[in-house]
Structure 1
Amino acid sequence: MMVTEDPTVHQLRLLLTLAEELHFKRAATKLYLTQPALSQQIRSLEQRLGVQLFTRTSRRVELTPMGKALLPLVEKVVTATDDLRDAAARSAVGGERLRLGVCESFAALEATRSVLAAISELHPELGPDIEVVDFVEQMTVLDEDKIDAAFVYLPAPEGLHSHPLTTEPRVVCVASSDPLACYSSVTLADLADYPVVGLASQMFKEGRDFWAADPRPDGTPVRYTSHHVTRFESLLSMVSFGGAIAFVPSVAARLYPRPDIRYLPVLDLSDCTFGVVWRAGRDKPQLAVLAEICRRLRGQGLPAGIMQPPTPLPELEPLDV
C-alpha cells in the first residue's frame, strides 16, 4: 500500500474504538454506526495510511503488528485534537455560563451526571447553571431563552437539535390493584381497553403520541383520561387510582418505586432515548462545547440508568479535645 491521503480524525477515533473492542458489531453499536459503514471507514483508513491495521477472520479481529505500533501515535493525535478543540472553545466562550434545564428526577440519571461532571471538569468557567423544570416547562423555557439546553426524553419538537445519549426500554405502569399487576409482561393488545393518562395540552403532539403509543400497531384507537398532567409524580398518582395506564422509561421503576404502582415490560413496544436538546441554529460556543462533550460520552458508551449511590463513609472515632 502507498499513502495517498491524510487520515481524518474521525477515522482515527473509529480505529481506537475498534482496537478496544476487537469486534466489529460491538464497536459499531458503541459508535452508533452500521457494521458495513465501520468496515468501510477502517478500509479507507488503511488505504490512506498505506498499511494493514487489522486482520479479520469470521471468528475474530486482531490488530496487526503495525496496527499495535501505530496505536500510541493515533491516541496522541486524537488527544491533541481534543485539546485543541477544548482550548478554542474556552477562548470563545468567555464569561458566559451554560444554562441547562433538567426535568425533575432526570438529575439522578447516570447520563445527566456524566455530562454535568464533564462540563465542570473540562470547562469550569461554564458552570453550569441548572434549572429544574416539568414536562411543559422544559420546552417553554427553551422558547423563552431562559436556558440554553435541556435534558429530556425524546422525541423533541421541530426546530430543536437533539443529541442522544442513552437508549432504554419503555414500560407500562399500572395500579398494583389492577389484574394486570400479576403479569410478568404484557403486549400492547393486552392494554387496548385501558385509557392513557392525559398529559397537558401544551405538550407537543408528537411527544404525547409517543408516550401513549398512539396509534397502536393494529390501529386500535387510544383513549385518554381528562387529566392535564405536567409532572411525573402526578402521572404516577393518576395511574395508582386504577383504571388508567402510562408508558414511562424503564428507569422510572428505580427512580419511583411505589407500593401502589407496578411497572411491566411491554414486549412489542419500542425503546426510548434520553438526550440533550437545544434550539437549532443557535450559534453559541457554549452549545458547541456541550455537543462535543455529549459526543465523546456517547462514544464511550454511557449506561442507561441512575447514578450509583456513594460508598458510605467509615465511622470515625470521636476526637479528644
Structure 2
Amino acid sequence: MREPSVHQLRLLLAVAEELHFGRAAARVFISQPALSQQIRALEERLGVPLVERGSGTVRLTPAGQAIAVEAKAVVEAVARLVQVSDAHARAVRGTLRVGSLGAEAAMPYAAAVLSRLREQHPHLEVEVHNLNFIQQFDALANGEVDAAFLRGPLPSGFQSHQLAVEPRVVCLPADDPLAGEEKLTLAQLADRAVVDMPREVPRQWWDHLTINPRPDGTPVRFGPVVRDTEAMVLAVLQARAITFLPAAARRLYPRPGLVYVDVPELGNSVSFLAWLPANRDLPAVRALREATRTAEQNPRVLSE
C-alpha cells in the first residue's frame, strides 16, 4: 500500500462533509472529474473503497467513514506542524538596542512593550541604553540605538508611534513661596530662572518645552545647564532654578526638598517610540513595532 498524500486526505474530507462531488469540487477549487479521479487514486492507494456513488448521491463506505476520522486528525496535525515551523521561521534573533531618555523604559507603557517583545521573540536579546538630553536624538540618528523611548516633540526625520500622554508640572524647591499652591500660572513663574540645556540639544525642542517665549512675548530667563534629569532636579534642590517635567516625575524623582505643582498652561507631555525610516523594516525593529501594537492601549492621560 502506498501512503496517501495530505492533499488527497483533504479532498476526502471535503467529499465526506458535502456528500456531493460537485459541491466538494467547488469548495476545493478543482473540477469535479479531477476530484473524482483523486478519490479513486486514494482508494487504490489504501486498497479499500471509500465512497459509494449513486445517481446524484454520495455516501461513505464504513471504511470511508473510519478513514475520514483519521484523515481529519492527520490534516489538523499537519496544519499545526506548519504553524510551528512558520513561527520558528519568523523568530527574530540577534540584538536590539533600545534607547531610553532617562526613566522612559521604566514607564508602564514602555515596560509593557518590552515585556511583550520578550514573550514574542525569546531569542532576541534586548539591550536598553540610558540616554541623556544630548544623546537622546543623536544616538538614534547615528545608529547607536535601533529605536528609542523619547518625549516629544521629535525632530523631523524620525518615524514614531505615540505611546502615552500625561500632564506637565513645575518642579520647585520646597521653600519657594509658590510651593504650597495647588495650581500655578506661567505668569506667576515669570521671574524664576529655568534650567537650560547644553548647546548640543536642539534649541527648538527645549524652547517648546519651556514655552519660550511666553505667551506675552517675554523670553524665558535660563539658569544652570544640565545634561540629564538627575542634574535637573539637583539644580532645583539647590534653589538655582525651576524646571518643567512630566507628571510622572512625582513618582520617578521624589526628593526631600522638592515640590511638584500643576501648571495647566504647560499642556501635556507625549511619549513616543521612535526609529529611523531606514530601520523600520529591520527584523528586530519590526518585531518591536509589532509588540508595541499588540501591547498598547489607547493613548491616555496618565493619572497620578
User: Closer, same or farther in 2 for the Cα pair 1:177/1:280, shift >3 Å?
Assistant: same
Q: 2:213 aligns with which of 209, 212, 215?
A: 215
Q: 1:175 aligns with which of 162, 173, 181?
A: 173
User: Separation in 2 of the partners of 1:176 and 1:210?
Assistant: 26
User: Closer, same or farther in 2 for the Cα pair 1:118/1:94, shift >3 Å?
Assistant: closer
Q: Match for residue 24 of structure 1?
A: none
Please say if residues 184 and 262 of structure 2, whose CA atoms lie closer than 8 Å, have aligned partners that are also in contact.
yes
How far off is 1:285 after superposition? 2.4
User: Closer, same or farther in 2 for the Cα pair 1:92/1:201, shift >3 Å?
Assistant: farther
Percent of aligned pairs with the same residue?
35
1:97-151, Cα deviation, whole Å (9 max, x unpaired): 2210122322321112101100000112222122222121222222221210111
Read off the aligned partner of 1:235 and give its amino acid letter.
Answer: M
Please say if residues 92 and 285 of structure 1, whose CA atoms lie closer than 8 Å, have aligned partners that are also in contact.
no
Please say if residues 103 and 152 of structure 1, whose CA atoms lie closer than 8 Å, have aligned partners that are also in contact.
yes
Q: 1:155 aligns with which of 153, 156, 160?
A: 153
- Superposed, which structure 2 residues align to 1:130-279 within 5 Å? 130-225=128-223, 227-279=224-276
- Superposed, which structure 2 residues align to 1:17-166 within 5 Å? 91=89, 94-166=92-164
User: Closer, same or farther in 2 for the Cα pair 1:157/1:163, shift >3 Å?
Assistant: same
User: Separation in 2 of the partners of 1:242 and 1:144?
Assistant: 36
Please say if residues 164 and 272 of structure 2, whose CA atoms lie closer than 8 Å, have aligned partners that are also in contact.
yes
1:99 alignment partner, SS class: strand
Read off the aligned partner of 1:95 and give its amino acid letter.
Answer: R
Read off the aligned partner of 2:264 and give its amino acid letter.
Answer: L
User: Separation in 1 of the partners of 2:270 and 2:112?
Assistant: 16
Please say if residues 167 and 304 of structure 1, whose CA atoms lie closer than 8 Å, have aligned partners that are also in contact.
yes
1:69-115, Cα deviation, whole Å (9 max, x unpaired): xxxxxxxxxxxxxxx9xx98974675332210122322321112101
Read off the aligned partner of 1:127 and give its amino acid letter.
Answer: E
How far off is 1:229 after superposition? 0.9
User: Closer, same or farther in 2 for the Cα pair 1:119/1:93, shift >3 Å?
Assistant: same
User: Closer, same or farther in 2 for the Cα pair 1:202/1:91, shift >3 Å?
Assistant: farther
Which protein has the bigger strand share? 2
How far off is 1:190 after superposition? 1.0
Please say if residues 175 and 262 of structure 1, whose CA atoms lie closer than 8 Å, have aligned partners that are also in contact.
yes
Q: Match for residue 286 of structure 1?
A: 284
Read off the aligned partner of 2:216 and give its amino acid letter.
Answer: D
User: Separation in 2 of the partners of 1:223 and 1:93?
Assistant: 52
Read off the aligned partner of 1:248 and give its amino acid letter.
Answer: L
User: Separation in 1 of the partners of 2:284 and 2:131?
Assistant: 20
1:244-285, Cα deviation, whole Å (9 max, x unpaired): 210000000111111211100002221011121111232412
User: Separation in 1 of the partners of 2:91 and 2:143?
Assistant: 17
How far off is 1:210 after superposition? 2.3
Aligned residues: 222
Q: What stretches of structure 2 of length at least 5 have no aligned partner?
A: 1-81
Read off the aligned partner of 2:263 and give its amino acid letter.
Answer: V
User: Closer, same or farther in 2 for the Cα pair 1:196/1:93, shift >3 Å?
Assistant: farther
User: Separation in 2 of the partners of 1:95 and 1:271?
Assistant: 37
User: Separation in 2 of the partners of 1:269 and 1:137?
Assistant: 24
Read off the aligned partner of 1:259 and give its amino acid letter.
Answer: P
User: Closer, same or farther in 2 for the Cα pair 1:301/1:163, shift >3 Å?
Assistant: closer
Given the two structures, how large is their TM-score scaled by the length of structure 1?
0.63
Q: What stretches of structure 1 of length at least 5 have no aligned partner?
A: 1-83, 307-321
Question: Which has more radius of gyration?
Answer: 2
User: Closer, same or farther in 2 for the Cα pair 1:284/1:261, shift >3 Å?
Assistant: same
Q: Match for residue 64 of structure 1?
A: none
1:124 alignment partner, SS class: coil
Given the two structures, how large is their TM-score scaled by the length of structure 2?
0.66
